[in-house]
Structure 1
Amino acid sequence: MTILIIEDEQPAAERLERLIREIEPEAHILGTIVSIKSALKWFEDKPLPDLIFQDIQLSDGNAFEIYKKVKVSSAIVFTTAYDEFALQAFRVNSIDYLLKPIKKEELIRAFEKFRNLKPNPENEKQKLESLLETLTSKKIQYKSRFLIRFGDQIKSIDVNDIAYFFTEDKINYLRTFDGYNYPVDNNLDELEHLLDPSVFFRINRQFIIGIKSIESMYAFSKSRVKINLQPPYNGDTIVSTERSPHFKNWLAGEEQV
């Protein structure tokens, strides 16, 4: 069995590879690809693997863009932190998926399903085409409100009132434009899929910021950008090196990530 991993988060890729080697020691992992661009190049001149583990959200865009441009008949298991719309599309089109962080027992079931069903290349291609049609023909409904619990109180916060999301001391918060912080149940990986990407952007591992929260920006180094937020954050807010090119495209309205 040959396997290709398409995953841009190194810890997630390393964990997946380790689990695969534990479960299927005779499987041949062809490599790990980290972007849409490198995936397209791979499929141009390499033989198709038997099985692909595909992260949905890559650093340079949505993984479905790959399969709009190339015809792939391999069996695909999509991996995602959380995306209810995509998960529903997978269920409708009988596409296999795993939720992050991937659990060993769920990966075992994915391999068992792969072996038992013995995927037919033409069927896999048809299922993928049907999935892409489902995803492109329906409007994704992004989250419009967050239900916040603090103490014995419950509060509904409109997404338009949220300036940014951040992680501090392993707790995830949203900050409203009037300067209040509220803990949220979702982590930043999950929030990336729940928020409208034209309005919110993940600048680094700690922050997802709203376009209207940016007060000013400065060149911090050759490839990074420092942002002053409103309301202010007590600490530096810097766009990571790998996110900077996409951040600039996002500011210009040229890229949805």
Structure 2
Amino acid sequence: MKIVIVEDELAASENLAYMLKNLQDNLEVLAVLDSVKTAIDYFSKNQEADLVFMDIHLADGLSFEIFDAVKIDAPIIFTTAYDQYALQAFKLNSIDYLLKPIDEDELEVSLAQFKGQLKGKGLITNQVEGLLSLLKDQKKTYKSMYLVHYRDELIPLKTEKIAYLFIENGIVKAVTKDRQTHIIDQKLEDIENDLDPSNFHRLNRQFIAQRDAIAGIKQYFNGKLIISVIPPHIEQVIVSKAKATEFKNWMNH
């Protein structure tokens, strides 16, 4: 089976390729494409893929824009972080999906579903238009407040007042713009999903920052970045090389 991956995050594409090869010996990854532009260039010249894995949000736009410029004959499996309502709509449009972070068991099920499927069953125009309409209309509600402990009571903490969140000794702490620290009794992964991604970004496994809290960015060795935040954090906040491009794109937007 010949596979093409359209994904702008290096770590995500490498992880997907690793899982695919682990699940099927005779699987070949023909190309990894990291933008709308490179995907258009590739598919305008190559239609050898049996199956395409495609992230929705790429560095230079939505992956659906690819279909405005070129026809893809192979079936598509979208990788997405959209909520269940949107995912059901994907199914109704006869397009499969994998929810990020990709689970290997779910990946195996998707591979089995598409194994042996003939070409010629790619996206058609009305499917693309339907999904674009869905994405434009879909308005996810993000968390605006957390209840946090303060002495012997619970007080509301508005997310707009949070500068950043980090893990310390297994405990998630939120630091506000006025330098107060509060404990939030949730996993950082769950908090990340609850926050508006246009305002908050996961810098690494231990740290989420609000856009206005980013005070400076310095180049570090091996393509890493050191992030300065306000209020200052006691430890260095480092963005890995794999996540550096994603972070810079987020800041630019």
Is the shorter-chain TM-score for this pair beyond 0.5, marking a shared fold? yes
8 Å Cα contact 1:143-1:159 kept in structure 2: no
Name the CA distance, whole Å, in 2 between partners of 1:248 and 1:16.
23
Q: Indicate the residue corresponding to 1:76 in structure 2.
A: 76
* Counterpart AA for 1:144: K
Distance change (3 Å), C-alpha of 1:65 and 1:174: farther
Equivalences for residues 220-231 of structure 1 within 5 A? 227-231=227-231
Q: Secondary structure at the match of 2:44?
A: helix
Q: Secondary structure at the match of 1:21?
A: helix
Equivalences for residues 199-238 of structure 1 within 5 A? 199-203=199-203, 206-214=206-214, 216-217=215-216, 227-237=227-237
Stretch deviating more after TM superposition (50-59 or 164-173): 164-173
8 Å Cα contact 1:48-1:72 kept in structure 2: no
**What is the CA distance between 1:155 and its match in structure 2?**
6.5
**What is the CA distance between 1:71 and its match in structure 2?**
3.5
Name the CA distance, whole Å, in 2 between partners of 1:90 and 1:239.
33
**What is the CA distance between 1:110 and its match in structure 2?**
0.8
Equivalences for residues 6-45 of structure 1 within 5 A? 6-45=6-45
Q: Indicate the residue corresponding to 1:161 in structure 2.
A: 161
**What is the CA distance between 1:52 and its match in structure 2?**
0.8
Instruction: Name structure 2 gaps, 5 residues minimum.
Output: none
User: Is 1:182 aligned to 2:183, yes or no?
Assistant: yes
* Counterpart AA for 1:182: I
8 Å Cα contact 2:54-2:76 kept in structure 1: yes
Distance change (3 Å), C-alpha of 1:87 and 1:164: farther
Q: Indicate the residue corresponding to 2:3 in structure 1.
A: 3
Name the CA distance, whole Å, in 1 between partners of 2:183 and 2:227.
22
**What is the CA distance between 1:225 and its match in structure 2?**
7.0
**Number of positions where the alignment pairs a residue of Structure 1 with one of Structure 2:** 248
Name the CA distance, whole Å, in 2 between partners of 1:38 and 1:49.
15
Q: Secondary structure at the match of 2:112?
A: helix
Stretch deviating more after TM superposition (227-236 or 241-250): 241-250
**What is the CA distance between 1:224 and its match in structure 2?**
7.9
TM, length-normalised to structure 1: 0.71
**What is the CA distance between 1:51 and its match in structure 2?**
0.9
Q: Indicate the residue corresponding to 1:196 in structure 2.
A: 196
Deviations 1:57-106 (A, max 9, x none): 445554444445543342111223x3216434424433211223433332
Distance change (3 Å), C-alpha of 1:104 and 1:122: closer
Deviations 1:82-137 (A, max 9, x none): 3216434424433211223433332222123224875753665543332122212x
Name the CA distance, whole Å, in 2 between partners of 1:242 and 1:41.
24
Distance change (3 Å), C-alpha of 1:72 and 1:120: closer
8 Å Cα contact 2:5-2:53 kept in structure 1: yes
Name the CA distance, whole Å, in 2 between partners of 1:64 and 1:9.
17
Name the CA distance, whole Å, in 1 between partners of 2:19 and 2:239.
32
8 Å Cα contact 1:74-1:124 kept in structure 2: no
Q: Secondary structure at the match of 1:29?
A: strand
Instruction: Name structure 1 gaps, 5 residues minimum.
Output: none
Q: Indicate the residue corresponding to 2:94 in structure 1.
A: 94
**What is the CA distance between 1:142 and its match in structure 2?**
4.1
**What is the CA distance between 1:153 and its match in structure 2?**
8.3
Question: What fraction of aligned residue pairs are identical, expressed as a percent?
Answer: 34
Distance change (3 Å), C-alpha of 1:228 and 1:24: closer
8 Å Cα contact 1:142-1:195 kept in structure 2: no
